[in-house]
Amino acid sequence: MKKINFVVGSLFCLAVFANAEGLGKPLSVHAGGRVLEEKSANDQISYRYSWPGIYFEAAFTGTAVDVKLDDDQNILNIIVDDQPAIVLTKPGKTIYSIKNLASGPHKIRLEKRTETQSSSGRFEGFYISEQDTSGKIKSSERRIEFIGDSFTVGYGNTSASRDCTTDQVFETTNTQLGFVPRVAKYFQADYQINASSGFGVVRNYNGTSPDKSLPKLYPYTLNDTSSLYKHSWKPQIIVIGLGTNDFSTKINPGERWASREALRNDYVETYKLFIKSLREENPKAHFILSASDRFDGEIQTHVEKVIADLKARGETKIDSVFFSDLEYTGCHHHPSVKDDEAVAKLLVDKISANPAWWK
Catalytic annotation, residues: 150
Under 8 Å between Cβ of 286 and 236: yes
DSSP state of 156: T
H helices of the chain, in order, are 150-153, 166-172, 179-186, 214-217, 244-247, 260-281, 298-312, 337-352
Cα distance between residue 227 and residue 50, in whole Å: 12
Q: Is the dihedral of CA 243, 244, 245, 248 positive or negative?
A: positive
Phi, psi (deg, nearest 5) at residue 203: -135, 135
Q: CB burial class (10 A; 0-12, 13-18, 19+) of residue 347?
A: buried
Instruction: List, in order, residues 6 or more apart from 313 with CB less than 8 Å away.
Output: none
